[in-house]
Amino acid sequence: MTGFLLWLRSLAFNVGWYAGTAIIALAGMPILLMPRRAVVAWAQLWIRFCLWWLRLTIGLDHRLCGLENLPAGPVIIASKHQSSWETLAYTLLFPHAATVMKRELVYIPIVGWAMARAGNIAVERGDGAKALRGLVRDAKATIAEGRSILIFPEGTRVAVGAERPYQVGTAALYRQLGVPVVPVALNSGLFWGRRRFVKRPGQIVVEVLPAIPPGLDRETFMTTLRARIEGGTERLIADANDRERTRNNAVDIDLADA
C-alpha cells in the first residue's frame, strides 16, 4: 500500500472519528446525569464505533490473548502504553477497571466529564506525595467496590524502541492494595504510532501475562514487572515484524511470477 493511500485512509479515519465523536457526545449528554453503568455503556458505544471505523478505513483490527492469566476478583492491570489506541480499546477489553489518568483529561468537554463519571481515577501530575496519596486512596475505594485498577506504569505513551522509567505509582498500589498485578504487553505502536497521523493496517495484539502475586519487596516487584512487560512487548513486536516481512516477500514473489 502506497504512502499516499495510507495518508488518505488516515484522513478518512480522523474525519469520521471526530465527526462521529461529536455526534455521539452531543446526543448522549443527558446520560452524564445517569448512574455510572449508563455512562460506561455510552462510552462503550462510542468506542465500538471508533474501532469499527478504524477497521473499515485503515484495516486495523485487534486480538486479545492470555485471558487465562487474569485472576478472578479485583487486580491491578499494568499495561505497556504505546498509542492512543489502548486509551480507547481498553474500556471494552477491561470493562470493569478504573483507569488511572491525567487529571487534565477530566476538563475536556463531555468526553472528559464522561471519563470522570465512569469512575476512573484522575491524578494531578507533578503533585508529588499528595498525588500519590490521592491515587492510593481512590484505588482502595475502587478495589473495595470489587473493581480492578488499570495503570500505565510508564505514565505516558512511549514510542516503539524508546525507553522510559517506570513510575512509583504502580509500586505504591502494589504495596498498599495487596492484590495481584497483571502485566499486559502490546504492539499498538507499530500501527498507530505516538504523535503519528498515518495509521497502518494489521492486527494489534494485546497479551495478558502471568500475574505477579502480592508480597514481593519493591525492587523485586519492579524488576519482575518491567521484565515481563518489556519482554512480552518485544516478542509481540518481533512477531508482527516477521509477519510483515513474510507478507512482503509473498507479494514480491507474486509480482515476479506475474
* DSSP 8-state secondary structure symbol assigned to residue 106: G
CATH code for the domain of 93:
3.40.50
Mind listing the pLDDT tens digit for each residue in 177-200?
999 999 999 999 999 998 889 999
Q: Please give the average per-residue pLDDT across 162-168, as a whole number.
A: 91
| 43 CB-near residues (< 8 Å, 6+ apart) | 91, 114, 115, 118
Number of domains in the chain: 1
Give this prediction's pTM. Answer: 0.91
3-class state of residue 148 by DSSP: strand
In-domain check, residue 30: no
> Is 3 inside a domain boundary?
no
Give the per-residue pLDDT at 255.
46
Closest CA to 237 of 226, 245, 247: 245
Considering only CA atoms, which of 167, 163, 174, 187 is closest in space to residue 139? 174
Within 13 Å, how many C-alpha atoms sit on residue 144's CB side? Answer: 7
pLDDT digits (tens, 9 = 90+) for 1-45: 678 899 999 999 999 999 999 999 999 889 888 888 899 999 999
Hunting for cell 519492579 — which residue is that?
Answer: 222
Asked if residue 86 is part of any domain, the answer here is: yes
pLDDT at residue number 127: 66
What is the three-class DSSP state of 105?
helix
- The verdict on residue 45 lying in a domain is no
In a domain, 55, yes or no: no
Domain annotation covers residue 89? yes
Indicate whether 64 belongs to any domain: yes
3-state secondary structure of 138: helix
In a domain, 118, yes or no: yes
Domain that residue 173 falls in:
60-257
